[in-house]
Structures are given as C-alpha cells and as structure tokens.
Structure 1
Amino acid sequence: MAAPDGTVADGPFPEIKAVLGGFPVVEVPSREDALEWAARIAAACRCAQEVREIMPESAG
C-alpha cells in the first residue's frame, strides 16, 4: 500500500468512513515498478493505494 505522502508499506487500508470508487490499472514489468507507481498516484490524489496483480503472466 502506498500512503498519501508517497511512502510504501505492507498492510491493509486504515479504517475509513467514506469510500470513493475507482482504481487505476497500470501495466509494469515488476512489482517494484508497481509500488513506485502506487506511491506516485497516492501522492497525486492524496489517498492510499493498494497494489494487486490482476493478470499474472502464464507459467507456460
């Protein structure tokens, strides 16, 4: 998860009372790149970001 200040940490979202929908999808070559983008997005929108792999490469 990337915090609004751009720092990256493991763990769940903090408890919040209001939720706004939406999510960015970013295609990058590695998890490290994904975390860097999450930090940038978190800083830009001032909200925490969760990183999930949604289309892993096939093992074949």
Structure 2
Amino acid sequence: MAADVKGESVESDEVEEFLGHRARLFALAYRMFGAAGEAEDMVHDDRPVPARRVDR
C-alpha cells in the first residue's frame, strides 16, 4: 500500500471516495442494464485501482 510523507495511507482516501459514490453508480448501472446482477458486476468491475504516486 502506498503511503504519503507522513506515513498515512493514500489509497484509502480514494477507496473511501469510491464507496461514497457506489450507491449512485449502482443505481445508474441498474437503469442502464435493467438487472441488479449486471449492475453489481459493472460497479464491482469499475472500482478504482490504486495507482502509484510519484513525487517529483
């Protein structure tokens, strides 16, 4: 897991932000696909992948 200069988790902020939007993403996916299973698959597949941060 990546850490910033203070040693705090950087990735957890991004995951928390995603989780805050997850219900809305599911609702939109459900409207698009018309099935809860497909909507759940889309939201699950679309969760953020932590990227390495490079300090310059």
- TM-score class, shorter: 0.3 to 0.5
TM-score between the two structures when normalised by the length of structure 1:
0.35
Which of structures 1 and 2 has the larger relative contact order (alpha carbons within 8 angstroms, sep 6+)?
1
TM-score between the two structures when normalised by the length of structure 2:
0.37
Q: Based on CA coordinates, which of the two structures has the bigger radius of gyration?
A: 2
